[in-house]
Amino acid sequence: MVIVMNQNATGEQIKRIIGRVHQAGLRTHVVEGEFRTIIGIIGDKKTIMALAVEALEGVEKAVPISSSYKLVSRDFHPQSSIVDVSGVKIGGGSLVVMGGPCAVESREQLMEAAHIVKEGGAQFLRGGAYKPRTSPYAFQGLEEEGLIYLAEAREATGLKIVTEVTDVTAVDLVASYADMLQIGARNMQNFHLLKAVGRSGKPVLLKRGLSATIEEWLHAAEYIVNEGNYDVVLCERGIRTYEEYTRNTLDLSAVGALKHLSHLPVIVDPSHGTGKWHLVRSMSMAAVAAGADGLMIEVHPNPAEALSDGPQSLNPGNYMALMKDIIKLADFLNNEVR
């Protein structure tokens, strides 16, 4: 951390700050600039973070130099991680696809979706049994009934199950059915839930918060890993911006940024990321070309009948065509480019 003093900070004020920093067991380097004095602080990240020096008199601002996440950082763990979910590996070069409806609506809908997803070549079935919805009057999910259908679909197709858990009290139940627990965007900073899935022993898919910075996202992952669970996959799903044409702005540069900063695998959800099915194809291709380890795509046997997020779901025909091209593209990139 670097403390920038006011132009008219007194020697007394500077001394007081240095005293406090040393008291905390940290070292300082004082640099006198033309107009201002700057104090660099060196030592343990956690201790630095706990300082509230900005509140001291004479301080203009405090500039953090390095992030306080550690376990998820590439500095700490230079090799890219591979997360094994019931035998399917995420990360390490192959492309994983998670397909399925936004919400589990009925046994028939889910089974039909599962067979399509499987036929297209995906490895995971997605589908929400617990749906966090903006309005209390919108469909909130089938809850345990939905989980049972997901397990049946796994039985029937061999697909792995990834599904969202929205509350601490449901972690054990969801974990007893799913292969991978999803933390949704709205819960990315639900720290109790992060700790709970960290203790669950299940791999976790951590979606980016609606307006989370990359750094906050990695801190959220750090909460999970800090509980001893290293099986975390990050999922970019669009961020909130002023643009109104798309539901969110899909930040594909996050793929490269995360691979630079962290060792965790990264997948992309172009369905939520754009909110428009006709943009899912181009953004899926782009995500694969950007180096994503996988995709999460909404597929519905009949999007116009969907109880949730129909406008962003692919119909079976579009899904099949996309899967064919994505697989070709991934092969091309693996063989011809990398």
As a dihedral over the C-alpha atoms of residue 148, residue 112, residue 141, residue 184, rounded to 10 degrees, the angle is 90
- Choosing from 10, 54, 158, 334, the residue that interacts with its own copies (CB under 8 A) is 54
Q: How far apart are CA 297 and CA 187, in angstroms?
A: 20
Q: How far apart are CA 86 and CA 160, in angstroms?
A: 7
Cβ 277 to its own copies shortest distance, Å: 7
Contact residues for 154 (Cβ-Cβ < 8 A; gap 6+) = 125, 160, 161, 179
The footprint of its own copies on residues 80-139 (CB under 8 A) is 132-139
Q: Which stretch binds its own copies (CB under 8 A): 63-71, 81-89, 172-180, 228-236?
A: 63-71
166 near its own copies, judged by CB under 8 A = yes
Nearest CB to its own copies, comparing residues 88 and 261: 261
The footprint of its own copies on residues 202-221 (CB under 8 A) is 210-211, 213-216, 219
What is the token pair recorded at 226?
């800090």
**CA atoms in the 13 A half-sphere facing the CB of 157:** 28
Judge contact between 308 and 106, C-beta under 8 A.
Answer: no
Cβ 14 to its own copies shortest distance, Å: 14
The footprint of its own copies on residues 309-328 (CB under 8 A) is 309-311, 313, 325, 328
- Choosing from 288, 296, 297, 323, the residue that interacts with its own copies (CB under 8 A) is 288
4 near its own copies, judged by CB under 8 A = yes
13 near its own copies, judged by CB under 8 A = no
Per-position x/- string for 221-250, each x denoting binding to its own copies as judged by CB under 8 A, each - no binding: -xx--x------------xxxxxxxx--xx
Nearest CB to its own copies, comparing residues 154 and 259: 259
Q: How far apart are CA 20 and CA 71, in angstroms?
A: 28
The footprint of its own copies on residues 146-165 (CB under 8 A) is none
Nearest CB to its own copies, comparing residues 203 and 273: 273
Judge contact between 9 and 45, C-beta under 8 A.
Answer: no
Pairing mode of beta strands 96-100, 294-298: parallel
SS3 135: coil
36 near its own copies, judged by CB under 8 A = yes
The footprint of its own copies on residues 258-277 (CB under 8 A) is 260-261, 273-274, 276-277
Q: How far apart are CA 140 and CA 142, in angstroms?
A: 7
